[in-house]
Amino acid sequence: MTTHSNEIGTQPAFSYRWAEGFKKSLPVAMGYLPAGIAFGVLAQVAGIPIWATIMLSIVLYAGAAQYACLPMLSAGLPIGNIATNIAAINLRHVFYGMPLLQYLPKNKLAKTYCLFALTDETFSVMTSLPNESRRALILPISLFNQSWWVIASTVGVIIGSTLSDLVPNLDFALVCLFAILAYEQFQSIKRYFPIGIAIIGLVVASLFTSDWLLLVAITICMLMILARGLWVERYKAGANHE
């Protein structure tokens, strides 16, 4: 019997999942396109080959880390130094995966890809969705988001320095994207704790260092999250004993 419903049982139909994933990826595309083009342009200016720029967007796929790679690659730093810096920048992604583990696809290959492609923007979109939609949409959203980034960085590296001369400071588009997604996520979830720890972490870290600001700020945020989690567990345990 043929059905025109968007859902089969409890899971959305295949075509509906990919159409919905495309729709949900469009706000990310609005930021990824200029930011990815900016990365491609900056890579071309830094002398990175076209093939290497595209491979960075496919294999590394981490906006902030890719920007950070450019001066290190152009300076010819050892691969160990580059890997250490990239690992520090992407350390936050470990915590992105934890809340979404139960929503990952059951297929091992799809699950591995979704963990690899879990960027700040994909995490923001996924956590703003209803719980029942997350497993069905995480793979389409992840694939579409990376596709936007790869296409944009390819266009950017082909255009080259011409666009850099016409529109300076293109890399600021990524910062704007973070701000927009953070605002949209706050509007959806209405949680003040993440904003509070981010501000505290940044202020405290800035008092101690400037060269390692991001790493120290992330570490402080991690410690505050763990401390809050322990406090909540002890509070619940105490309430259960009463």
Say what the pTM is: 0.68
pLDDT digits (tens, 9 = 90+) for 9-65: 445 577 888 999 999 999 889 888 888 888 888 888 888 889 989 999 998 898 778
By the 8 A CB rule, do 20 and 135 touch? no
Residue 186: pLDDT over 90: no
pLDDT at position 138? 94
Q: What is the overall mean pLDDT for the chain?
A: 81
- Alpha-carbon distance of 101 to 195, in angstroms, equals 23
47: left (phi over 0), alpha (psi -120 to 50) or beta: left
Residue 141: the pLDDT is 95
Residues facing 29 on adjacent strands: none
Query: Are 125 and 27 in contact, with CB atoms under 8 Å apart?
Result: yes
- Phi/psi of residue 11, each to 5°? -110, 135
- pLDDT tens sequence across 99-151: 888 999 999 999 999 999 998 889 888 988 888 889 999 999 999 999 999 99
Angle between helices 172-189 and 120-127 (to 10 degrees): 20
Average pLDDT over residues 62-83: 81
More confident site: 229 or 138: 138
